[in-house]
Structure 1
């Protein structure tokens, strides 16, 4: 039985709860803080990457999280040019300032880990490579999974 009466809403709620639970486990935070952390990190990344890449990233987010991602967005503004990890963390820290204290680096790692687990590898890699190297170092490389498929006794292997 559908909780909301619309499958699309039920799916986005379920997926969002999964993401928040994973952030909560990594940070030891509650659901509200995890929601705030997710939004802060996504917006800080969004404002650093080119608009087109940001739109592709948003298409991979659950519908509810996509709204959080686009909150406070100014599409006419050019992408920020954080030149260092410190600048990135300062901006993130400012956005996290209105919630229980959370280390901005821990917040970034937690959200990057969730994205790596739930967003297609190719999209994660494009976003990672749009960030400066020291910020990219916080983002774990997505792991490709080797899947074997048997068709008429012929075995194929491919990365997923």
Structure 2
């Protein structure tokens, strides 16, 4: 019986991840779910790397299981948090995480992902998360 529950949980996580990717695809007017995945991954990694490890873990705990896997992929906790204080530094970090010739600029990707996070996460928790960023990095959502 537990095997069935485990598969159901994974199926639900796949569905939930697809809902997130569809929301990102629509928010950013991208041409594919693959681009939505790349944008989500790039911005989540830039956010994660800018946060103190204990705050990064709190954000990770709020994400759907599969999105959480994307978030933690390749994380080296000892090298965080980065010291990006200005918008251009953060956007450059997002840009380094995006594949070459990505169809939208990194700032637009970051703004779109912030919007989706704002919609999908608990607003109070998202506000606490944003309090750990300098004002320039806090106010990306339109």
Instruction: Compute the TM-score of the two structures, normalised by the length of structure 1.
Output: 0.80
Report SS of the residue matched to 1:47. helix
Distance 1:78 1:18 in 2: 30
* Off by >6 Å, runs of 4+ in structure 1: none
Q: Which has the larger radius of gyration?
A: 1
* 2:118 alignment partner in structure 1: 116
Alignment of 1:28 with 2:29, yes or no, is: yes
How much is the aligned-residue C-alpha RMSD, in angstroms?
A: 1.6
- 1:90-123 deviations in whole A, cap 9, x for unaligned? 1111111335332111111111111111111221
Q: Is there any run of 5+ residues in structure 2 with no aligned partner, and where? A: none
Higher relative contact order (CA 8 A, sep 6+): 2
> Whose helix fraction is larger, Structure 1's or Structure 2's?
2
Q: 1:99 to 1:61 in 2, by over 3 A?
A: farther
CA shift, 1:11, in A, is: 1.4
Distance 1:51 1:19 in 2: 24
Aligned length: 137
> Whose strand fraction is larger, Structure 1's or Structure 2's?
1
CA shift, 1:70, in A, is: 0.6
